[in-house]
Structure formats: C-alpha cells, structure tokens
A and B are shown apart, each in its own frame.
Chain A
Amino acid sequence: GQQLNQSPQSMFIQEGEDVSMNCTSSSIFNTWLWYKQDPGEGPVLLIALYKAGELTSNGRLTAQFGITRKDSFLNISASIPSDVGIYFCAGQLGSYNNNDMRFGAGTRLTVKP
C-alpha cells in the first residue's frame, strides 16, 4: 500500500519559534490532511488540502499540497506551549473503492516555555 514518510520524527523548540514538518509519498494522493493528537485523545483534523499547489492557513498553521501530489508540509508560526503533541500527515486517494486514509508516523513536538 501507499507509504508516507514524515519528518522530523521529533522536535524540541523554544516557545515563540516557528516549526516546519513535512510528508512525502512514493504514490500520488488526491487529498492531504494534517492532524494533531493530544495525549489520551484521538487525532483532530487541523487542515485539509484538496488541490495540488493549494496553500491553506488555519490561524498560526499553514499547510501546502505539493505540486507533484506526492508531498505536503505544515508550518506552525510563533509556537506556544499548547502546540505540544503529535502531528500526523495523512493522505487519501479519494476513489470510490479506495478512500481509506493512510497516516505518516507522526512528528512529536515539544515546546519549552
């Protein structure tokens, strides 16, 4: 099946710094998504991208759908302590009989006050 490579695996940053993480795939996806998981909770959708080249923002978060449809990045500006968590990229083919969502391995973010 499709494999997503997410990097970095973990990041330790100071409050106020900007963060960047990315995801690449050997296969094309029609939808890219970014999720955040807090401890003891399920993943929560942050941003969904539906078109190659699309750049979308959600507050301090910005994500882009790569032109090749094989990659995406997520940026977080001016990080704050509550940004701590695991961030997952996910890709979907979007076809009728294969619309399951595949996840990257996650980026564990630690923000030091």
Chain B
Amino acid sequence: DTAVSQTPKYLVTQMGNDKSIKCEQNLGHDTMYWYKQDSKKFLKIMFSYNNKELIINETVPNRFSPKSPDKAHLNLHINSLELGDSAVYFCASSQQGVGYTFGSGTRLTVV
C-alpha cells in the first residue's frame, strides 16, 4: 500500500481553469503538507495542516486553497490557473513534525 498517494500524477490544463489535486495518507500521521517544486528543483512549503487546522500558510496566492475533510486527506484547489503555476506539487505527512513522508508528486502544466 502506498503511504502517501496523490492524484493525478500528471495534469495539463489551460490558463484560467480551476483544478484540484488530491492527497491521502494511510500512516495515521497528524500533520499533512503541500510543497511546490519549481523547474530548478527548489522545494518550497505552501501549507501545513494539523488535525484539520491550518497552522502554516506561506505567502502563496489566495487562488490556492487547501481543504482537509479529515486527518488522512489534504486536497489542494487552485482557481484561475496561471502559467507560473506550472510545477510539481508534493503532498507530505508527518507525525509530530518528524520525518516527513512524501507522495510521488503531481506534475501540473498550465498551457
């Protein structure tokens, strides 16, 4: 069983569209995260959710909104997609902030 699973793995969409990326973890971890990896492979944290409560909200545009229906899921909704949103988005989870486990990523391409 995959510990942290993201869907879809690839997403190609036009500018202006709204899209969602889903993430689920079966590790029983209490915190989940979204990271963005740009074309230079730099990883930057976007959001962190602990027990369904947002505890970090980095300076990302409000077009991005995390939604956590329960402790095992953290979905990422993106409205009005822009070319600069093209990147690989990684979901991760941890127990008490230690030893993050990452998903395999969602490559988003905005055309």
Contacts and interface: CB of A to CB of B under 8 A. Distances in A.
Given A100-B48, A103-B42, A105-B40, A43 B102 contact: yes
A92 B90 contact: no
B64 to A, nearest CB: 16
A49 to B, nearest CB: 12
A113 interface: no
B83 interface: no
A3 B89 CA distance: 21
B105 A41 contact: yes
Interface of A: 31, 33, 37, 40-45, 48, 86, 88, 92, 94, 97-103, 105-106, 108
A42 B104 contact: yes
A92 B56 CA distance: 14
Given A97-B55, A100-B48, A102-B45, A45 B40 contact: no
Contacts of A99: 31, 97
A4 to B, nearest CB: 11
A86 B100 contact: no
A48 B97 contact: no
Contacts of B33: 100
A40 B104 CA distance: 7
B40 A101 contact: no
B54 to A, nearest CB: 12
B60 interface: no
Given A100-B45, A101-B45, A48 B99 contact: yes
A1 to B, nearest CB: 8
A92 B99 CA distance: 10
Contacts of A106: 41-43
A105 B90 CA distance: 16
* 8 interchain residue pairs of minimum CB distance: A42-B102, A99-B97, A103-B43, A100-B45, A106-B41, A42-B90, A43-B102, A41-B104
